[in-house]
Structure 1
Amino acid sequence: MSFEVDIGYSSERGPRDVNEDFAGAVRAPKGEEARGLIAAIADGVSTGGRGLEAAQTTVMGLLGDYFATPETWEPTAALDRLIGAQNAWLADHNRRRHGGGAALTTLTALVLHGQSYTLAHVGDTRAWRVRQDGEPAAPLTQDHAFDHPDLRSRLTRAIGLDDQVRVDYVQGDVRVGDCFVLSSDGVHGALKPRHLAALALQGSAAEASEALVRAALSAGARDNATALVIRVTGLDARQLDDELGDVRRLAPPPVLKVGDVIDGYVVTAVVADTGVHLLYQARDQGTRKLVALKTLHPARAGDPQERAMLAHEAWLGLRVSTRADSGFVRVHERAPGASALYTVFDWHGGRTLEQIRKAQPRGAVADVVAAAIEVARALGRLHRHGVVHRDIKPGNLHLGDDGRWRILDLGVALSGREGGAQRELHAGTPSYINPEQWEGQVADEASDLFALGVTLYQWLAGRLPYGEIEPYQSARYRRDPVALSRIRPDVPIWLDHLVCKAVARDPRQRFETAEEMLLALERGAARPVSAPSATPLIHRDPAALYKIALAISVVLNALLAFWLLFLPR
């Protein structure tokens, strides 16, 4: 899904001999629609007649290359890299011309993504936002030109003017009905903001752009007149940049009590206080439905890493919980006028597996298999999104009152868009972490499958396959897990082999994908998997052979010493 927009463009040379303005807009390519669209306008500076060359190459280069930048780049990073490269190229050509005239241009670029906009601006072209409230058009940019009346056409910044260019960036939210206007000085220099706003909202976007240019020329514009009108008629789902924007703009609420109201939600219960996060049950005053509100504890409200992780979790939840049977709790989009930083989830009554095990440490085989199938299917969906959960355990598996199992807490998940601090965090619960992570490897999809295997083993056996692992231990796995059928005779051999395969010490013996594990669970005894072979001692404890050799050496030396000292010669 992407922005739904109506775009109009009009440009006239006016009293000038040549039209040196240039503008355009490009949508994201197929398959990357979530990246939105980019529009840009440039006004070439007539130095030696090369203004059009500068404007055209700048706009076409930016529009052509923006969606070729990595999707993980934040819009300001992509724009800064591309504008800097174009400026360096123009500045270099200007130095080589030796009096043949410099190619300079202004630039205003607009990126619409998710439910936000990002503006990049150099020079005296302008961007305006017009809303249907009768107010004058609001300029989003500030001209880079001398303030003296006789020097207003002299720019203090331009693309190609110097080896380095300083770009102004502006970011904000977008609403349905917003109208953005990119204009050259031939338009905004001749029209007052209120007149510009009225014209921008007339007819279609194409009709509005033509009306703006005609009105500017009729008002005596002394330069080329160009207007690019973009009306937002539909919004994409929130993107990570939207969530990060809220992190910058909003603060977590203070500690809430039962009965407190925040943005239309009435707090009905305080569910959890971890010292890092607060979780509330609340009722939506509009729909009367129960929801869960998750926010940061005031003690951690100023931590930028925790704020970024909360934003990342909200964005991931929106991506993976679009279907009712996704296996994840649905996340609600935060209202545009939200007064504080929090995430809204559907509320589901029920219990986590950890709570279920407290009442009944060992689960019935049929219940375990049914749950494993649902969780493996949800993990498969998560991994197809390119996301690694990193903390699968009984406390994060929830059985709702509707009978569905769901995976909770994407707070430490990896998606490729998380911050560096979250990526480097050694997340997860030690007893459920696969051995490779203790040896320095990064968590991946296999880590989630191993953790699910440990969870199933614990649920069936009432104990962990490798025992409790403490964070400060080296976590070397010195023995293979005991077969489940030796602990519980009612566990069928096919399930025993499946779980032991999932928690095998050697990663090559485990399931490679969640789909493979799901298929094995669904086939059951019809096509059982083979039991993993015993892990050689050298793999379980590489130092064991040296220890054995040392012990034999000590014994032999002791016998030799005894023979030399005490036995007759």
Structure 2
Amino acid sequence: MLTRYDHDLRVEAGFASEKGRRPDNQDYVGICFGPSGAGALQGVVAAVADGVGGHKGGRAAAETAVRAFMEGYYAQPETIGVIRAAARSLEAANAWIAAQGRVDPTLQGMATTFSAAILSRRAAFVVHVGDTRVYRLNAGGLELLTQDHIVGGGDFATLRRAMGFEEALLFDQASISLALHDRFLICSDGVHGSLRNRALRGMLGERRSPQETAETIVEAALRAGSSDNATALVLDVVDLPPADERALSRAIEALPIREWPAVGETLDGFRLESVLSEGRYSLLMRATDLQTGRSLALKFPHARVAEDETYRLAFVNEAWVAARVRSPFIGEIVELPPGRQTRLYSAMPFYEGETLEQRLRRKPSVGLAEGQLIATRLSRAVATLHRSGVIHRDVKPDNVILLREGGLKLVDLGVCRAPRLDDFTSQEIPGTPSYMAPELFQGAVGDESSDLYATGVTIYRMFTGAYPYGEVEPFSKPRFGRPQPLCAKRPDLPAWLDLAVRKAIAVDPRDRFGDVLEFGFEIENGAARSGPAPLRKQSLYERNPLAFWQGLCLLLACLLIASLALR
């Protein structure tokens, strides 16, 4: 099995080719992940050619077509685009094969069918001539991407087009969007002539490795009575590069915003099970993907924001960042196959658990050990975003999911600030007022320090249920005085924790920690760094309660005697 992996695209491939009942194998298969240093736009090329039987040099024609096409394709400048580069390469290979068939008696009339798939970035490009085929298997089923160039049928079928027939080549070309876990099959007529689509779909759908699947398909074709060479090449799309912001913007702008759906409805292949939360601007629903059986959470915007560019920008932000930042502490966005989505919403995995806000509403209160673990994980989540140049700008308990198995997910990246993304206007202060750092109310756009502040407020509220500077109402101008000490509301918590949180939520950014990881380290290791508690002299009551009460009784007796004597 062959694998290509880089920061753009990951593809796994396997192939099998057998001569079957023929005396020799005139099929030729090739896969190329690009020469060393090739640009990401050139992508992965996979091709199958089937030398035309009854002509001299069928095998030579097939091998020449595949090799010349690949060499010519990668030699083209990236600036001309995939389709033009493929067309030029195929035409040049055809001209050479046609010329050789004319001048070399041993290769007279050499010709071959040819089908290739080029996987580049987030698209697949197909070039095809003859009766080899390209299929794609995805959630929608098995799709034939090529059309056979033949006349007649069965034993009387003859090729209308092939490489080498004429100097001017007529070939088909197409492009489609790639989706994660797409599976492609390129095969000769020795395979598809013996196996129906249902059988191919079943073998491809077993999702064994590409190599095992290709071998299984070829063996099945020969068992089914194929009298020709049998070749199968299988490609799996294992990972995709993230979409650029322009593509995301175009896709989101094309989707309408409609009234909220109801529980029990089926939408785009999702069965809507229940309402998870309902806000002023969005509705979060639990849904089941009927194609995969997976549980998801779908977030729908309210119809009243249909013309709100800011709200659409939030969807672009979330999708863009989720595609680029992979972390066990950051919530994911599920990318839906092109054409499936008929209205604007985002799909996320359904995380079993509760939000930190929900945890605060139930007893018992968050203890030191539990709070340390949550705070440390939250700090790592925020730090993960910062390493990618992303500022969350809305860290709060509602956006922290505590997973049932013990993990943590930071979600809702709609108001984040990230490189290469359009930002909100200066009049729109992103975030939740009670968690916003003082500088944000002065017009700052938000940075790592303001995220640190919001993280500190979140942890303060996690332990106390209150806000250090009081709750801030929207559109108000808050005053930031001295925060109420953590220990005043939770005397059971240590002083080092109070000092760490107060430093994170300092009014002046210069007085805060250098970054959120430093804050997380202080929370995680504060008890060890603070050292043992200072020794305190015990009171008489603690040392000897009996002596304390005896002395108190004696003192009261003396006071009573003195009072009687004065009378």
TM-score where L is the length of structure 1: 0.54
Q: Identify the residue that residue 301 of structure 2 maps to in structure 1.
A: 296
Q: Identify the residue that residue 157 of structure 1 maps to in structure 2.
A: none
Q: Identify the residue that residue 310 of structure 1 maps to in structure 2.
A: 315
| Inter-partner Cα distance in structure 1 for 2:499 and 2:259 | 51
Q: How does 1:375-454 map to 2 (within 5 A)?
A: 375-421=378-424, 425-454=428-457
Structure 1 pair 476/311, CA: closer, same or farther in 2 (3 Å)?
Answer: same
Structure 1 pair 251/493, CA: closer, same or farther in 2 (3 Å)?
Answer: same
Q: Secondary structure at the match of 1:344?
A: strand
Q: Secondary structure at the match of 1:355?
A: helix
Q: Identify the residue that residue 494 of structure 2 maps to in structure 1.
A: 492
Q: How does 1:327-338 map to 2 (within 5 A)?
A: 327-338=329-340
Q: How does 1:104-143 map to 2 (within 5 A)?
A: 114-116=121-123, 130=127
Structure 1 pair 361/456, CA: closer, same or farther in 2 (3 Å)?
Answer: farther
**Cα-Cα RMSD:** 4.6
Structure 1 pair 190/29, CA: closer, same or farther in 2 (3 Å)?
Answer: closer
| Inter-partner Cα distance in structure 1 for 2:174 and 2:377 | 57
| Inter-partner Cα distance in structure 1 for 2:36 and 2:143 | 19
The residue type equivalent to 1:524 in the other structure is G
Cα deviation code 1:116-175 (max 9, x no counterpart) = 59xxxxxxxxxx8547998999xxxxxxxxxxxxxxxxxxxxxxxxxxxxxxxxxxxxx9
The structure 2 residue matched to 1:267, chosen from 269, 272, 287, is 272
Cα deviation code 1:271-320 (max 9, x no counterpart) = 23334323211112233231111232333334444223213212322322
| Inter-partner Cα distance in structure 1 for 2:174 and 2:353 | 56
| Inter-partner Cα distance in structure 1 for 2:427 and 2:35 | 34
Aligned residues: 364
Q: Identify the residue that residue 240 of structure 1 maps to in structure 2.
A: 244
| Inter-partner Cα distance in structure 1 for 2:408 and 2:496 | 23
Q: Identify the residue that residue 113 of structure 2 maps to in structure 1.
A: none
The residue type equivalent to 1:435 in the other structure is P
| Inter-partner Cα distance in structure 1 for 2:494 and 2:379 | 19
Q: Identify the residue that residue 260 of structure 2 maps to in structure 1.
A: 255
| Inter-partner Cα distance in structure 2 for 1:519 and 1:314 | 30
Tell whether the 8 Å contact from 1:520 to 1:528 is kept in structure 2 after alignment: no
| Inter-partner Cα distance in structure 2 for 1:349 and 1:388 | 26
The residue type equivalent to 2:306 in the other structure is A
Q: Does 2:378 align with 1:372?
A: no
Q: Secondary structure at the match of 1:359?
A: coil
Structure 1 pair 329/38, CA: closer, same or farther in 2 (3 Å)?
Answer: closer
CA shift for structure 1 position 337: 3.2
CA shift for structure 1 position 61: 10
Q: Identify the residue that residue 222 of structure 1 maps to in structure 2.
A: none
Tell whether the 8 Å contact from 1:27 to 1:37 is kept in structure 2 after alignment: no
| Inter-partner Cα distance in structure 2 for 1:384 and 1:194 | 45
The residue type equivalent to 1:461 in the other structure is T
Q: Identify the residue that residue 84 of structure 1 maps to in structure 2.
A: none
Structure 1 pair 356/28, CA: closer, same or farther in 2 (3 Å)?
Answer: farther
The residue type equivalent to 1:521 in the other structure is I
Structure 1 pair 196/401, CA: closer, same or farther in 2 (3 Å)?
Answer: closer
| Inter-partner Cα distance in structure 2 for 1:136 and 1:60 | 28
Q: How does 1:472-487 map to 2 (within 5 A)?
A: 472-477=475-480, 479-487=481-489
Structure 1 pair 4/458, CA: closer, same or farther in 2 (3 Å)?
Answer: closer
Identity, in percent, stands at 32
Tell whether the 8 Å contact from 1:266 to 1:285 is kept in structure 2 after alignment: yes
The residue type equivalent to 2:415 in the other structure is V
Q: Secondary structure at the match of 2:285?
A: strand
Tell whether the 8 Å contact from 1:3 to 1:232 is kept in structure 2 after alignment: no
Q: Does 2:291 align with 1:286?
A: yes
CA shift for structure 1 position 495: 0.7
Tell whether the 8 Å contact from 1:374 to 1:405 is kept in structure 2 after alignment: yes
Q: Identify the residue that residue 8 of structure 2 maps to in structure 1.
A: 2
Tell whether the 8 Å contact from 1:309 to 1:418 is kept in structure 2 after alignment: no
CA shift for structure 1 position 239: 1.5
Cα deviation code 1:323-364 (max 9, x no counterpart) = 4xx212232221233132332211123222222223349532
| Inter-partner Cα distance in structure 2 for 1:272 and 1:133 | 55
The residue type equivalent to 1:336 in the other structure is P
The residue type equivalent to 1:268 in the other structure is E
Structure 1 pair 421/522, CA: closer, same or farther in 2 (3 Å)?
Answer: closer
Structure 1 pair 475/131, CA: closer, same or farther in 2 (3 Å)?
Answer: farther
Structure 1 pair 465/194, CA: closer, same or farther in 2 (3 Å)?
Answer: closer
Q: Identify the residue that residue 343 of structure 1 maps to in structure 2.
A: 346
The residue type equivalent to 1:419 in the other structure is D
| Inter-partner Cα distance in structure 2 for 1:332 and 1:254 | 22
Tell whether the 8 Å contact from 2:438 to 2:507 is kept in structure 1 after alignment: yes
The structure 1 residue matched to 2:514, chosen from 508, 512, 523, is 512
Q: Identify the residue that residue 527 of structure 1 maps to in structure 2.
A: 529
Tell whether the 8 Å contact from 1:377 to 1:515 is kept in structure 2 after alignment: yes
Q: Identify the residue that residue 319 of structure 1 maps to in structure 2.
A: 324
The residue type equivalent to 1:487 in the other structure is K
The residue type equivalent to 1:509 in the other structure is D
Q: Identify the residue that residue 562 of structure 2 maps to in structure 1.
A: none
CA shift for structure 1 position 36: 4.3
Q: Secondary structure at the match of 1:436?
A: helix
Tell whether the 8 Å contact from 2:133 to 2:144 is kept in structure 1 after alignment: no
| Inter-partner Cα distance in structure 2 for 1:411 and 1:130 | 40
| Inter-partner Cα distance in structure 1 for 2:437 and 2:400 | 18
Structure 1 pair 61/315, CA: closer, same or farther in 2 (3 Å)?
Answer: closer
Q: Secondary structure at the match of 1:306?
A: helix
Structure 1 pair 262/132, CA: closer, same or farther in 2 (3 Å)?
Answer: farther
Q: Secondary structure at the match of 1:525?
A: helix
Structure 1 pair 314/468, CA: closer, same or farther in 2 (3 Å)?
Answer: same
Cα deviation code 1:76-122 (max 9, x no counterpart) = xxxxxxxxxxxxxxxxxxxxxxxxxxxxxxxxxxx9874259xxxxx
Tell whether the 8 Å contact from 1:130 to 1:178 is kept in structure 2 after alignment: no
Tell whether the 8 Å contact from 1:4 to 1:232 is kept in structure 2 after alignment: no
CA shift for structure 1 position 390: 0.3
Larger Rg: 2
In structure 2, list runs of 5 or more residues that go unmatched.
1-6, 13-32, 45-75, 82-117, 135-141, 147-165, 176-185, 189-233, 532-567
CA shift for structure 1 position 28: 12
| Inter-partner Cα distance in structure 2 for 1:392 and 1:195 | 48
Cα deviation code 1:371-418 (max 9, x no counterpart) = 101101111111111111101112112222222222121111111232
| Inter-partner Cα distance in structure 1 for 2:370 and 2:260 | 39
The structure 2 residue matched to 1:469, chosen from 468, 472, 480, is 472
CA shift for structure 1 position 456: 1.4
| Inter-partner Cα distance in structure 2 for 1:286 and 1:499 | 47
Q: How does 1:75-114 map to 2 (within 5 A)?
A: 114=121
CA shift for structure 1 position 511: 1.1
The residue type equivalent to 2:304 in the other structure is A
